[in-house]
Amino acid sequence: MAPTKVLLVPLSSHESFPPILKKLSHKLRSLGISSRIDDSSASIGKRYSRNDELGTPLGITVDFQSLKDHTFTLRDRDSTRQVRSDEEKILAAIKTLVDGTKEWADVEKELPAFEGQDAEVPVREK
């Protein structure tokens, strides 16, 4: 079993992300769940890949949507599938996964799948 259960990954080095990451880290710690923040300059894929190799089973991505609506993406290492929900539901899902009362398939049934964000593409006027 990996010593770190959750990787916290900011999408970028935007100044609004560190306070959110710190808050999430504190909440996980209060639940007895170990976490680590990877805010290196590597791509998000490389950061997840590095931590997959270390055995970190779960990852939370903090992105610009998180700033708008306080939702986060939760990623499962083994399937690489993701779900997205509000902080309370994400933390509850992590707690049940870590304590073994639920499996990833259960979480996927309860929380909306996350396939990726739509890029905002400007429309050119003719």
3-class secondary-structure state, position 124:
coil
Residues 6+ apart with CB under 8 A from 80: none
The confidence score (pLDDT) of residue 117 equals 54
CB 83, CB 114: distance < 8 Å: yes
User: What are the structural domains, with CATH classification, of the chain?
Assistant: 6-110 (3.40.50.800)
Give the whole-angstrom CA distance, residue 121 versus residue 107: 32
Give the whole-angstrom CA distance, residue 109 versus residue 112: 8
Give the whole-angstrom CA distance, residue 51 versus residue 34: 14
Q: Average model confidence (pLDDT) for the chain?
A: 90
Mean pLDDT computed over 96-106: 97
Q: Say whether pLDDT at 124 is over 80.
A: no
- Residue at 123: amino acid letter: V
- Cα-only R_g, the chain: 15
Taking only the tens place, the pLDDT of each residue in 18-62 is 999 999 999 999 999 999 999 998 999 999 999 999 999 999 999
> Looking at 10-14, 20-24, 92-96, 122-126, which range is the least confident one?
122-126
Helix (H) or strand (E) holding 107: helix 104-110
pTM over 0.75: yes
- Residue at 106: amino acid letter: D
Tokens of 122: 């400007």
Mean pLDDT computed over 89-112: 97
Q: Say whether pLDDT at 76 is over 70.
A: yes
- Residue at 84: amino acid letter: R
